[in-house]
Amino acid sequence: MRVNKFPTYAKQIWWIATIAPTLRYSGVLLGVNIKFYGKPIISLFKNSVIQIGNASTICSSSFYTALGVNHPTVIRTLREGACIVIGDHTGISGGSICSALSVKIGHRCLIGANVTISDSDFHPSRSKERRYTTNQDAIASSPVEIGDNVFIGANSIILKGVTIGENSVIGAGSVVTKSIPSNCVVAGNPARVIKLLD
């Protein structure tokens, strides 16, 4: 069966023509040659920063990724002063990236389907404050930094305070609670080093 690819190309042109200008107008810093597949959810809190590097790919449609995505890619700053920086040539498929302080992702990273990366616990740990709080300082937050050439497998969760060294691989479904060195493979819950890379 022959598939007519024209509708696909037309959609890509439409997404690029509409999404990028809208995001730039909203204050999101976009590099050049960024590809959007489907419409992401990108929310910029006042006086915060979201920056997406050159030639990056943001996939929010199951039609364009092998495993499919559970939801559109979500990139969201949560308060003033928060910062999300995504490097050049990085790909994200249906991921959720939220920052109350700082999330930095390097160049040439692969972020698999439905990955969650956050520098915040979102709610205080104290039970009396947990449900309703206006005190942002009661919510534990710590910056996340992901080095260049990191591959994060599908459905993994990267928690606050984590640094992942360059070239490392995070196995699918891992929960990363502590920092990971460069050039290694980790897996599990909590994630542990299972292999060193040359």
Instruction: Enumerate the active-site residues.
Output: 123
Query: What is the SS3 assignment for 97?
Result: strand
3-state SS, one letter per residue, for 131-188: CCCCCHHHCCECCEEECCCCEECCCCEECCCCEECCCCEECCCCEECCCECCCEEEEE
Q: Rounded to whole angstroms, how far apart are CA atoms 191 and 175?
A: 6
Amino acid at 19: I
* CA–centroid distance for 25 within its chain: 21
Q: In this structure, what token pair is assigned to residue 196?
A: 């060193």
